[in-house]
Amino acid sequence: MAAPMDSIDHVLARATSGQRINTSPESAATQELQLYEMIFSAVKPMALKAAVLLNIPEIIATRGNGGPLSVEKIAFHIGAANSSSTSNSHVDVGYLYRILRFLASYGVFTEQEEPNQQDDADTKKIKFGLTGISKLLVQGENQQSSGPFLLLIADKVYLEAFQHLHESVLEGCYTFDKAHGMSPWEYLGNNPQFNKIFNEAMASNSRTVMASVAKTYDDGFKSIKTLVDVGGGMGFALSMILKEHSHIRGINLDLPHVIATAPPITGVEHMEGNMLDHIPSADAIMMKWIIHDWGDEECVKLLRRSYEATPANGKVLIVEAIVEKDKEGESMSRRLGLLYDISMMVYTTGGKERTEEEFKRLFQRAGFNSYTIVKLPFLQSLLVLSKA
Q: What is the DSSP string of 102-159?
A: HHHHTTSEEEEEPTT-----HHHHEEEEE-HHHHTT--TTTT--SHHHHHHHTSHHHH
Beta pairing partners, 126:
113
Report which of 371, 227, 349 is spatially closest to residue 299, judged by C-alpha positions: 349
Radius of gyration of the chain (CA): 25
- Catalytic member of 77, 164, 245, 292: 292
Residue 67 CA to residue 269 CA, distance in Å, equals 44
The yes-or-no answer on residue 292 being catalytic is: yes
Q: What is the three-class DSSP state of 383? A: strand
Say how far residue 173 (Cα) sits from the centre of its chain.
Answer: 24
Q: What is the DSSP string of 321-358?
A: EB-----TT--HHHHHHHHHHHHHHHHSSS---B-HHH
Residue 22 CA to residue 107 CA, distance in Å, equals 26
Left, alpha or beta for 131 (phi > 0: left; psi -120 to 50: alpha)? Answer: beta
The one-character DSSP state at 27 is S
Query: What separation in angstroms does the CA of 126 have from each of 57, 63, 76, 101, 199?
Result: 16, 16, 15, 9, 38
Report which of 264, 253, 372 is spatially closest to residue 305, judged by C-alpha positions: 253
Long-range contacts of 344-347 (CB under 8 A, 24+ apart): 344/292, 344/293, 345/165, 345/168, 345/175, 346/158, 346/161, 346/162, 346/165, 346/175, 346/176, 347/158, 347/161, 347/176, 347/184
Q: Do 315 and 386 form a contact (C-beta atoms < 8 A)?
A: yes
Beta strands at 284-288 and 315-321: parallel, antiparallel or unpaired: parallel
Give the active site residues.
292
